[in-house]
């Protein structure tokens, strides 16, 4: 029997008081709650000195194993290379990218640490699924430690054009590290094509007869696997939500609401969004006192300087718009700088006539899907969606906009507010059908099927072991090496099915 092992930088909270609003953690938690298995990652704690072995706890139907980081590792790996180098680079923001060799060294060291801490927890039958840009070198480190299991990697954020990727001084090291995986998954066909172009043009790879990449002596399988949500769950929560959840003020209940929900991030296009709403109420005085924008912007990466700047800018813009247009019983922009739980968000989504999702660049954007799934089938709202969000490839009933074109977005908002219910239903129904068909389970199963199909003997990756800064002998502990840790009777069905076929 096989076990699914998920590895990511971000892991769910074990506290019942905390509720995730969306994104990677929610998607993976839903998958593991269905299959059982092990989830390994950083605890979110920075301590001196870190514990010599992961902390293992039971979380719903899966086992959670977390490790702490020392302050220098946190600063270099997480605040440094992950958030000040890879995040802006992969979102094509070279103007915000820091190219610091010390950051890259820390990034490599922490990935070696992750591999050393994870290896004693693995069994020969495990299928290992590594997630996101924080952990690109992890597969190579696991192979060096002797792992010969099925090993997949999924990038949740965009992959940029080859020209942007080449700006990274360590692009070759990362490209070679990706070849340790049996399968690499991307959100969209555009990201997949960018990756193929980069590997072919810059790493001198070639496409074989099966459509796979031949590069660095490896046959590399890569494909697009758009991530989904539990659409039925969101629909049920929205249908059972309080009529106003959370409850707005008395005067807000009289207004037509546009909703935006994002992490506070420069990639989300929030400045441009505020300006587009300003253009709407500036050019359409009939909306004064009748339409408001509610923007939920949950704080993130508060120790990274660029994020302090975007928060201050948004507060200034929102204050200026409200000061210019507000009336005694109407505030144009409700700007909320904190997070809400899923149940509260579904209430907000359902009570909003427009879902405004306008990132400047986004891997997928699950908020767009959550908004659609939360709508009243008889009276659905309208999704206004950026052409640069991965979700635009799937949600064809949305009104697609260029978030940089402020006046055009304002015109589309006007059209959305005037859209008759028959057209809203006609747009919503195929989108909802798509979300139910390509849900979180479909995403998980399609990736795992492709992982086992890619796992052929000719593609097994071997490296000559070399001495690393972090050795297994430094962290191995008998009670952490039990072969049954995290095992579950509810194995991932697709894994056992495919193993039998082998």
Specify whether 373 is located in the same domain as 454. Answer: no
pLDDT recorded at residue 491: 37
How confident is the model over 37-63, as pLDDT tens digits? Answer: 999 999 999 999 999 899 999 887 899
Specify whether 486 is located in the same domain as 366. Answer: no
Tokens of 336: 């909320």
Specify whether 205 is located in the same domain as 308. Answer: no
User: Which residues in the chain come in under a pLDDT of 50?
Assistant: 16-17, 19-21, 243-252, 458-493, 495-502
pLDDT recorded at residue 284: 97
pLDDT recorded at residue 242: 57
**Overall number of domains in the chain:** 2
Specify whether 220 is located in the same domain as 239. Answer: no
Look-up of token digits 């769950």 = 233
Paired sense of beta strands 62-69 and 37-46, if any: parallel
Specify whether 371 is located in the same domain as 487. Answer: no
pLDDT recorded at residue 189: 97
The verdict on whether 442 is a catalytic residue reads no
pLDDT recorded at residue 501: 41
Specify whether 342 is located in the same domain as 237. Answer: yes
pLDDT recorded at residue 15: 58
Specify whether 210 is located in the same domain as 256. Answer: no
CATH number, domain with residue 389: 3.40.50.2000
Q: Please state, in angstroms and rounded to a whole number, the distance separating the CA atoms of residues 5 and 28.
A: 11
Domain around 364: 231-437
Specify whether 243 is located in the same domain as 223. Answer: no
Specify whether 288 is located in the same domain as 420. Answer: yes
Q: Which of 405, 437, 469 is the last residue of a domain?
A: 437
Specify whether 126 is located in the same domain as 241. Answer: no
Q: Which of 409, 437, 465 is the last residue of a domain?
A: 437
Residues 366 and 23: beta-carbon distance below 8 Å: yes
Specify whether 251 is located in the same domain as 307. Answer: yes
Q: Is the pTM of this model over 0.85?
A: yes
Instruction: Say which of 68, 73, 362, 439 is annotated catalytic.
Output: 362
Q: Please state, in angstroms and rounded to a whole number, the distance separating the CA atoms of residues 467 and 116.
A: 12
DSSP 354-395: EEEE--SSBS--HHHHHHHHTS-TTS--EEEEETTBGGGGT-
Q: What are phi and psi of 182, to 5 degrees?
A: -80, -30
pLDDT recorded at residue 339: 87
The verdict on whether 230 is a catalytic residue reads no
**Pick from 346, 361, 372, 375: nearest CA to 437:** 372
Specify whether 239 is located in the same domain as 376. Answer: yes
Query: What is the total residue count of the chain?
Result: 502
Instruction: Say which of 91, 131, 134, 156 is annotated catalytic.
Output: 156
Q: Which of 390, 410, 437 is the last residue of a domain?
A: 437
């Amino acid at each position: 029997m096989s076990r699914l092992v998920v590895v990511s930088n971000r892991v769910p909270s074990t506290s019942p008081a905390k509720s995730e609003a969306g994104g990677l953690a929610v998607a993976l938690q839903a998958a593991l709650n269905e299959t059982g298995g092990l989830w390994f990652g950083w605890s979110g704690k920075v301590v001196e000195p870190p514990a010599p072995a992961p902390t293992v706890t039971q979380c719903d139907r899966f086992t959670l194993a977390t490790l702490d980081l020392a302050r220098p590792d946190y600063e270099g790996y997480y605040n440094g290379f992950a958030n000040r180098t890879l995040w802006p680079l992969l979102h094509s923001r070279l103007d915000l990218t820091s190219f610091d060799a010390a950051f890259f060294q820390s990034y490599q060291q922490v990935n070696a640490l992750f591999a050393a801490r994870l290896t004693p927890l693995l069994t020969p039958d495990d299928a290992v699924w590594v997630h996101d840009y924080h952990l690109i070198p992890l597969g190579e480190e696991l192979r060096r430690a002797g792992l010969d299991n099925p090993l997949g990697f999924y990038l949740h954020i965009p992959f940029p054009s080859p020209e942007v990727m080449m700006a990274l001084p360590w692009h070759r090291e990362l490209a070679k590290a990706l070849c340790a995986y049996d399968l690499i998954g991307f959100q969209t066909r555009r990201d997949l094509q960018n990756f193929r172009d980069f590997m072919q043009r810059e790493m001198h790879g070639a496409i074989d007869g099966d459509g796979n990449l031949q590069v660095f002596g490896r046959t590399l399988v890569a494909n697009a696997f758009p991530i989904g949500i539990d659409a039925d769950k969101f629909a049920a929560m929205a249908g059972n939500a309080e009529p106003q959840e959370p409850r707005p003020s008395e005067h807000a209940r009289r207004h037509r609401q546009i909703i935006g929900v994002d992490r506070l991030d420069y990639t989300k296009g929030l400045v441009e969004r505020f300006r587009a709403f300003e253009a709407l109420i500036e050019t359409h005085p009939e909306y004064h006192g009748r339409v408001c924008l509610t923007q939920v912007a949950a704080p993130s990466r508060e120790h990274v300087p660029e994020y302090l700047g975007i928060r201050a800018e948004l507060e200034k813009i929102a204050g200026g718009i409200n000061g210019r247009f507000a009336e005694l019983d109407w505030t144009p922009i409700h700007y909320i700088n904190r997070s809400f739980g899923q149940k509260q968000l579904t209430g907000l989504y359902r009570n909003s006539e427009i879902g405004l999702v306008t990132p400047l660049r986004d891997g997928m954007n699950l908020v767009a899907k959550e908004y659609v799934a939360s709508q009243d089938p008889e009276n659905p709202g309208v999704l206004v969606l950026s052409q640069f969000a991965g979700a635009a490839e799937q949600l064809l009933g949305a009104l697609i906009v260029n978030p940089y074109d402020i006046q055009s977005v304002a015109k589309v908002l006007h059209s959305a507010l005037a859209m008759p219910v028959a057209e809203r239903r006609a747009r919503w129904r195929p989108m909802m059908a798509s979300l139910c068909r390509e849900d979180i389970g479909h995403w998980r199963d399609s990736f795992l099927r492709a992982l086992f199909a890619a796992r052929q003997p000719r593609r097994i990756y071997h490296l000559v072991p070399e001495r690393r800064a972090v050795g297994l002998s430094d962290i191995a502990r008998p009670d952490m090496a039990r072969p049954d840790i995290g095992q579950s009777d509810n194995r991932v069905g697709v894994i056992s099915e495919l193993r039998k076929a082998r």
